[in-house]
Chain A
Amino acid sequence: NAGVTQTPKFRILKIGQSMTLQCTQDMNHNYMYWYRQDPGMGLKLIYYSVGAGITDKGEVPNGYNVSRSTTEDFPLRLELAAPSQTSVYFCASSSQGVDNSPLHFGNGTRLTVT
């Protein structure tokens, strides 16, 4: 299994441009998450989803949008990129259920907005 796959690995955007960060998982996990990590800081939850068609805001949702049309995919959309969105973005998934199964993380997308 590939696990959680994020694309692209790196991206440079100009201020005001838009882009979509892709995340796909092949483990049939219901729960998916997007986090951002600024240099030297912890992870901040942007959005999460508990199943196809269901999304909810995390700690820092402003400036981002998500959709969850399939179980496998959870893309993150930046509409008007700002320098404050320069960060490393991590996608994660989990099967959840009564055993509180752990999160599986992707390798991240490093985004620079200039």
Chain B
Amino acid sequence: DAKTTQPNSMESNEEEPVHLPCNHSTISGTDYIHWYRQLPSQGPEYVIHGLTSNVNNRMASLAIAEDRKSSTLILHRATLRDAAVYYCPENSGGYQKVTFGIGTKLQVIP
């Protein structure tokens, strides 16, 4: 199974950019990289995903290393509403078995 690692927690000042890292040490060549977030007392929600190229959507940007062994979720201007736990789940080939670690808890400081 592919394994991912993330820092347990990070802090950011409000309105500053945030870079959340994830290591994908055993990712296979055809597995997409997904990011989710979980707001307090809610279920996880999808944020963004990509395969090789950097991706942008209305919520965030995803930067993928050339060797695909790491990725970075970028929040361009953190707001208090972005305080959440962010996950880059492990994915066993073909996305059949998706396992989440403890994620990165992001604290946004006013």
Interface residues of B (CB under 8 A from A): 31-32, 34, 36, 42-46, 49, 51, 85, 87, 91, 94-103
Contact = CB atoms under 8 A, between A and B. Distances in A.
Given A90-B43, A90-B44, A108-B43, A103 B98 contact: yes
Interface in A34-64: 35, 41-45, 48, 50, 56, 58-59
Interface string A73-107: 00000000000000000101010100110111111
A42 B98 contact: no
Nearest to B35: A102
Contact of B34 (A48, A59, A100, A108): A100
Contacts of B102: 41-42
Interface residues of A, number: 26
Contacts of B101: 42
A43 B86 CA distance: 12
Nearest to B95: A100
Contact of B46 (A50, A58, A102, A106): A102
Contacts of A105: 43-45
B34 A96 contact: no
A17 B105 CA distance: 35
Contacts of B98: 33, 45, 48, 94, 103
Contacts of A107: 42-43
Contacts of A56: 97
A17 to B, nearest CB: 25
A48 B46 contact: no
B97 A58 contact: yes
